[in-house]
Amino acid sequence: MSSNSKIGILFGQENTFPQAFVDRVNEKQSQFLAEFVSIDQVEQSVPTDYAVIIDRISQDVPFYKAFLKNAALTGTAVVNNPFWWSADEKFFNNALAVQLGVPVPKTILLPSKDQPDDTSHNSFRNLKHMNWDGIFNHIGFPAFMKPHSGGGWKSVYKVDNPDQMFRAYDETGQLVMLYQEAIDFTDYVRCYCIGGKDVLIMPYEPRNPHHLRYASELKVTGDAGKKLLATIKDYVLKLNHGLGYDFNTVEFAVRDGIPIAIDFCNPAPDADVHSVGQANFDWVVEAAANMAIDRAKKARKGQDNLTWGTFVRNSVASQAPAPEKEAKAPKAEKELTSEKAPKAEKVKEDAKAEKPKKSKK
Ligand SMILES: Nc1ncnc2c1ncn2[C@@H]1O[C@H](COP(=O)(O)OP(=O)(O)O)[C@@H](O)[C@H]1O
Ligand SMILES: [Mg+2]
C-alpha cells in the first residue's frame, strides 16, 4: 500500500474505544483502511503509511511522541498536534482562556516544592520569596492545588486553610502546581469537542464514585438551561479553536449560572464505554470516525496537515513580513517544507489516564 493511505489509532491500555473507532471508520468508507498503528523501524524523514493517526497515548510514551512528530513532518495528520501538545499545559490554558473571554477560577502558578534534579539554590536566584498571605487572600479558601501539567486526578488537593495547603504542597515534590479558587458549583459538565466543531455536553458529578459520575442530570432547566448549554458550547469551541485541539474534553463548574472552565487540557480524554456510558461512547466513536475520514480526505501529501490553534497562527501571522508589492526578486519558498488539624483532602485518582484574538479586557 502506498504511503499516507491509511487511518491509524495509537493507544495504550484502553480496550473499548480503539476497536470501535477502527470498525466504524471501515464501515463508513473503504478509501482509507483503518487499523491499529503498527510501528516498525522509525527513521528520520521517512513517511508512514498513515494519512491520519489518532494519538491516545504519546503523553505516556515519549518514543511515540518523537515518532509522531516525524510522521507529522512527512505528511501524516496527527490528532492531536504532537508539537502543540508537548508545549501546552494547564496554566497557559487558563491564561489563554482569560484572553479569550472564557471564565476560569482565579489561579496562581507555584514553583515546585522540591528543586528539580541537578539544580541548586543558585538556579532560583531570580525567584523572590512567596508572599503566601497575599496568595491566600487573593485565592481564598477552599482552594484546589493541582499539577500544571497532568491528568487523571493525580496529585489534586482540596485545601481549607494554610496549614492544609502547606502540608499538601510538601507532598508534591518536583511538580509545578496550580493554586486556584475552588468553585462551589450547582452543575458540572464535561464536554467532548471533536474536529473543532462537534460538541457533546455531558452532565457529570465529580463527587460521585467513578462509575456513577456520568449518571447525572443538569439541575438548571427550561430557558435558563438552554442558555447555559449555548454558552457552554460557545466556550468549548472558543477554547479548542484557540488551543488547536482536534480531540479534547473541557470541564465546567457552573456557579451563579456562569460556566467556569476547570480542566481543558485533555488531549487523550477518557473514552471508555464503561466510564462514559454507551450513548456518550457511540457519539464519540461516530464523531471521531467522521473527523478522521475528513482529515484523511483533506490531507496534502508530504505537507503539514496538523491543526494549529489561533494562538499559534496569529503569532506566526503577526511576524510574517508584509507582502511585497512587486515580485522582482525570486519568491521565497513558502513551503516549510501537623498538628492535629485534618489533612488536605487528596482527591481520589481517576481510573483512567487520561492566539487567540485578543479578547476584550
Ligand atoms: N477550581 C476547582 N473548583 C472546583 N472543583 C475543582 C477545581 N479544580 C479541580 N476540581 C475538581 O477536581 C477534579 C480534578 O481536577 P482536574 O483539574 O479536572 O484535573 P485532572 O486533569 O487531573 O482531571 C475536577 O474534575 C473537579 O471535580
Ligand atoms: Mg479533569
Q: Of the residues 165, 182, 199, which one is the last residue of a structural domain?
A: 182
> Which residue's CA is the closest to the ligand 1 atom numbered 6?
182
Establish if 352 belongs to a structural domain.
no
Please check whether residue 150 is in contact with residue 78, taking contact to mean a CB–CB distance below 8 angstroms: no
Q: Note whether residue 285 is domain-resident.
A: no
Given a cut of 90, is residue 324 above it in pLDDT? no
Do 68 and 126 share a domain, yes or no? no
Query: Which pLDDT tens digit goes with each residue over 235-294?
Result: 999 999 999 999 999 999 999 999 999 999 999 999 999 999 999 999 999 999 999 999
Distance 158 CA to ligand 1 centre (A): 9
Name the residue of 149, 153, 202 to mutate for ligand 1: max ligand atoms within 8 A of Cβ.
153
54: domain CATH number is 3.40.50
Of 46, 65, 81, the position where a domain reaches its end is 81
11 and 60 inside one domain: yes
In the sheet where 187-194 sits, what is the strand order? 198-203, 187-194, 247-255, 258-263
pLDDT band at 349 (very low <50, low <70, confident <90, very high): low
**What is the pLDDT, as a whole number, of residue 210?**
84
What Cα–Cα distance (Å) separates residue 126 from each residue in 92, 105, 122, 147, 309?
21, 27, 9, 22, 32
CATH number for 135: 3.30.1490.20
Return the C-alpha cell found at 333: 519558498
Structurally, how many domains does the chain consist of? 2
SS3 content of the chain, % helix, strand, coil (to 5): 35, 20, 50
217 occurs within a structural domain = no
Same domain, 21 and 76: yes
pLDDT at 354: 43
Cell of 320: 510574517
Give the pLDDT band of residue 356 (cuts 50, 70, 90): very low
Residue 48 lies in a domain: yes
Host domain of residue 42: 6-81
291 CA from centroid of ligand 2 (Å): 23
Same domain? 75 vs 121: no
C-alpha closest to that of 9 among 331, 23, 251 = 23
Residue at 52 is within a domain? yes
For a pocket test of ligand 1, which of 138, 146, 258 has the largest count of ligand atoms closer than 8 A to its C-beta? 146
336 pLDDT more than 70: no
Ion ligand 2 neighbours, Cβ < 5 Å: 263
Residue 56 in any domain: the answer is: yes
Determine, yes or no, domain membership for 304. no
341 has pLDDT over 80: no
Residues 132, 171 within the same domain: yes
pLDDT tens-digit readout, 152-210: 899 999 999 999 999 999 999 999 999 999 999 999 999 999 999 999 999 999 999 88
Residue 353 Cα to ligand 2 middle (Å): 10
Quote the mean pLDDT of the chain: 91
Which residue lies with its CA nearest to atom 13 of ligand 1?
Answer: 153
Cβ(78)–Cβ(155) below 8 Å: no
Packing angle between helix 222-243 and helix 90-100, nearest 10 degrees? 120
Q: What percent of the chain has pLDDT over 90?
A: 83
Q: How confident is the model at residue 358 (pLDDT cuts 50, 70, 90)?
A: very low
Same domain (yes/no): 114, 60:
no
Which listed ligand is nearest to 351 at the C-alpha?
1
pLDDT of residue 328 exceeding 70, the answer is: no
Residue finishing a domain among 182, 216, 248: 182
| In a shared domain, residues 110 and 161 | yes
